[in-house]
């Protein structure tokens, strides 16, 4: 029988997280968008002003999954929320309930921190993930679309005159 545990990420986990970020990008057919480096990831997680946190999932001491998250804020609830940026379980370790355990731990963190909501996004073609999230009690919000401004468009928007 195997043992699965979760724990906060440490600086020693940076190579594991980077490896899984690359695997996730390949799975999502978005590897061309990955510009992340171990140095940038370290700064985001452990720098002077960390912008996110991560938890690691281990099976018998081997890192097999991670979840990266941060706090957002709901003006309607006037409470912070917990936003899951990425949850990834290595292909060879899927089907063992580790995704469920990771989401459960994140929900516990949200409750411990008195968050008003726990949210994440899912690609519309990822039907297995959508069904998994629904089974976990998540509502898939059909009326909302993600808006994103990056790169040159972000720079242009920042320079725009009001």
84 neighbors 69 (Cβ within 8 angstroms): yes
Choosing from 83, 88, 98, 133, which is the catalytic residue? 133
Question: What are 151's two structure tokens?
Answer: 């790169």
3-class SS at 136? Answer: coil
**In terms of C-beta density within 10 A (0-12 exposed, 13-18 middle, 19 or more buried), how is residue 28 classed?**
middle
Helices (H), 84-135: 98-112, 127-135
19: left (phi over 0), alpha (psi -120 to 50) or beta: alpha
Query: ∠ CA 82-94-109 to the nearest 5 degrees?
Result: 20
Active site annotation includes 133: yes
Catalytic residues, by residue number, are 133
């Amino acid at each position: 029988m195997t043992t699965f545990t979760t724990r906060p990420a440490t600086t020693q986990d940076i190579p594991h997280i980077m490896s899984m970020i690359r695997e996730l990008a390949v799975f999502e057919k978005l590897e061309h968008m990955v510009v992340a480096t171990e140095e940038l990831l370290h700064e985001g997680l452990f720098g002077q002003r960390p912008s996110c946190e991560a938890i690691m999932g281990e099976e018998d001491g081997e890192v097999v999954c991670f979840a990266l998250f941060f706090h957002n804020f709901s003006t309607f609830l006037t409470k912070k929320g917990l936003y899951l940026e990425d949850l990834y379980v290595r292909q060879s370790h899927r089907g063992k309930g580790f995704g469920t355990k990771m989401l459960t731990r994140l929900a516990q963190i949200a409750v411990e921190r008195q968050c008003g909501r726990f949210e994440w996004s899912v690609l519309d073609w990822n039907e297995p993930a959508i069904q998994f999230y629904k089974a976990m009690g998540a509502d898939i919000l059909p009326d909302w679309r993600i808006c994103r401004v990056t790169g040159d468009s972000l720079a242009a928007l920042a320079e725009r005159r009001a």
